[in-house]
Amino acid sequence: MSHHQQFYINGQWVAPKGDQQLDVINPATEEAVASIALGTKEDVDAAVAAARAAFPSYANTTREERIALLERVIEVFKKRMGDVAEAISLEMGAPTKLAQTAQAPSGLSHFMTALEALKHFEFEEEIGTTLVVKEPIGVCGLITPWNWPMNQLTCKIAPALATGCTMVLKPSEVAPLSALILAEILDEAGVPAGVFNLVNGDGPTVGAAMSAHPDIDMMSFTGSTAAGRQVMTNGAQTIKRVALELGGKSANILLDDVNFEKMVAHGVMSCMNNTGQSCNAPTRMLVPNSRMDDVAAIAQAAAAKVKTGDPKAADTVMGPVVSKAQWTKIQDLISAGIEEGAKVAAGGPGRPEGLDKGYYVKPTVFTHVTNDMTIAREEIFGPVLSIIGYEDEEDAVRIANDTRYGLSGYVSSGDLDRARNVARRIRTGMVHLNGAPLDPKAPFGGYKESGIGREWGHYGFDDFLEVKSIYGYTAKA
């Protein structure tokens, strides 16, 4: 049975309070593939009430009970992996291969990582005669984006379940289908009624109702910096905790001793992965000024290998961007780059040749970019790479840090110690050395306007926990 027209509240699929609907558009075809119900403040109130009622009981479950629950979730998730991948490809245009090998498995990874962290997490600590206890914070509001839908859903839901919290989820209304499947997974796994609740809707209605709700104790939001600022403003009215994972404009520093053929091509492909729709994408490549022309040629050749087209095709590397609005924004920014004097080494405005339908963007590389240009400062969230020249190592670090964002960074060098030293000077929450991949056990999050708090692994538990000191707990009579 399809649950597109329903919400999951208090362990049941229920009809919405209102009658507003929204089409889910397949960005590869520009055609509707489903229609979902949009929630109201009344739907949020019902979901929050269910989560509040379920909290005392679930907060008092044992570690062993929550371990058993996560194990059941993992087993059901494995059975539905193919359904999750198919939904993600349909709703946001991810190539089938990417959906099957990265997008869907990321959800399983977060549940498995949370399970292992829960087995060893220290919820209590003795300091002198004081017992310090970490307790579940309460009812959590979760708002997630469309670009890595299952990844963002599960890196919030898994630690909430592990720490004993209850929750209300608003997935992106642009890509809600995979979230509905996840609700089915949690239901089949036996998550107690009221612990997990889902209400579809838009940010100004459902999102705002959640972030301002007096019975929600904590908001965890992933999305744009502008929207995150609004969540924080709304949450301030009730002094609730707010965790934010926001935008980025990450610098990829190639020091002068790297293998440029290898690392420039790697940087191009990393930027184009997921059609450039990743907050931590290496969208600013920093190279020595003396190597700019060489780098331009290598980047042009690398971009030419990015096969753009039908997500279902086996050889497709890059699918469409998620929506018409996103496509238009990217086109405007590409035009700004040209107008401000950057050189187009690959791609440019318009759709790729032979694709007259679908929100496809050419894999675009700009060279001779300066860090004051719009394309170097704004998060484009599309397959657009800006290559910026630097004079020396000090200049590279200065340019990398000259941004309002601070999510991720990338440093490559033939000398690992040199790369390590530069990494320590980059003001970001994460730095990749010589192409190292993400680690699901390590914290994910950023400095400055890239967010507050950390997700993933045992670090992801902290935002869902309150800390209580019980003085005299171990004192002798």
pTM, two decimals, is 0.97
Quick: pLDDT tens for 179-238.
999 999 999 999 999 999 999 999 999 999 999 999 999 999 999 999 999 999 999 999
CA gap 253, 393 in Å, rounded: 9
Over residues 465-477, mean pLDDT = 92
Pairwise CA distance, residues 224 & 205, whole Å: 17
Q: Which of the pair, 167 or 2, is modelled with greater confidence? A: 167
pLDDT in tens, 283-316: 999 999 999 999 999 999 999 999 999 999 999 9
| Average pLDDT of the residues of the chain | 97
Contact residues for 229 (Cβ-Cβ < 8 A; gap 6+)? none
Token pair 């190597």 is at which residue?
291
Using DSSP's 3-state secondary structure scheme, residue 168 falls into: strand
In the sheet where 465-470 sits, what is the strand order?
A: 124-127, 130-136, 465-470
DSSP-based three-state secondary structure for 373: coil
Query: For the chain, how long is the longest CA-to-CA vector?
Result: 83
Residue 477's pLDDT is 64
Rounded-to-integer distance, Cα 233 and Cα 236, Å: 5
Residue pair 225/246 in contact (Cβ under 8 Å)? The answer is yes
The Cα–Cα gap between 190 and 73 comes to 8
Rounded to whole angstroms, how far apart are CA atoms 393 and 76? 50
pLDDT the model gives residue 475: 85
Whether residue 337 is predicted with pLDDT greater than 60 in this model: the reply is: yes
d(CA 178, CA 308): 23
At 23, give phi and psi (nearest 5°): -75, 140
| Pairing verdict, β 284-288 and 251-254 | parallel
Q: Give the mean model confidence (pLDDT) for residues 135-152.
A: 98
Task: Tell me the β-bridge partners of 432.
Answer: 410
pLDDT computed for residue 19 by the predictor: 95
Tokens 């009624």, located at residue: 193
- Reference 222, options 151, 150, 144, 170; nearest CA is 144
pLDDT per residue over 384-407, tens digit each?
Answer: 999 999 999 999 999 999 999 999
Catalytic site includes residue 135: no
Say which amino acid occupies 374: T
**Domains of the chain and CATH, by start:** 7-246+450-470 (3.40.605.10), 251-439 (3.40.309.10)
Q: 3-state DSSP call for residue 33?
A: strand
Q: Would you call 412 helix, strand, or coil by DSSP?
A: strand
% the chain with pLDDT above 90: 99
Structure confidence at residue 379 (pLDDT): 98
Q: Are 198 and 229 in contact (CB under 8 A)?
A: no
Please give the C-alpha separations between residue 23 and each of 2, 31, 236, 476, in angstroms, as whole numbers: 15, 9, 33, 65
Q: Give residue-wise pLDDT tens across range 353-387.
A: 999 999 999 999 999 999 999 999 999 999 999 99
Nearest CA-CA partner of 206 in 148, 278, 269, 143? 143
Average pLDDT value for residue range 424-452:
98
What is the reported pLDDT for 207?
A: 98
How far is 209 from 170, CA to CA, in rounded Å? 11
Set 245, 379, 449, 455: catalytic member? 245
pLDDT of 242 reads: 98
Cα–Cα separations (whole angstroms), residue 117 to 65, 243, 247, 442, 452: 15, 20, 27, 11, 21
pLDDT band of residue 66 (cuts 50, 70, 90) is very high
Residue 2's pLDDT is 82
pLDDT at 31: 98
Position 1 confidence tier, pLDDT thresholds 50, 70, 90: low
476 confidence band (pLDDT: 50, 70, 90) = confident
How far apart are alpha carbons 99 and 93 in whole angstroms?
A: 9
Residue 343 sits at φ, ψ, to 5 deg, of: -95, 135
Distance CA 152, CA 146 (A): 9
Query: What's the confidence (pLDDT) of residue 284?
Result: 98
Sign of CA dihedral 122, 67, 145, 249: positive
Tokens found for residue 345:
């080494």
Closest CA relative to residue 135, chosen from 253, 55, 28, 25: 55
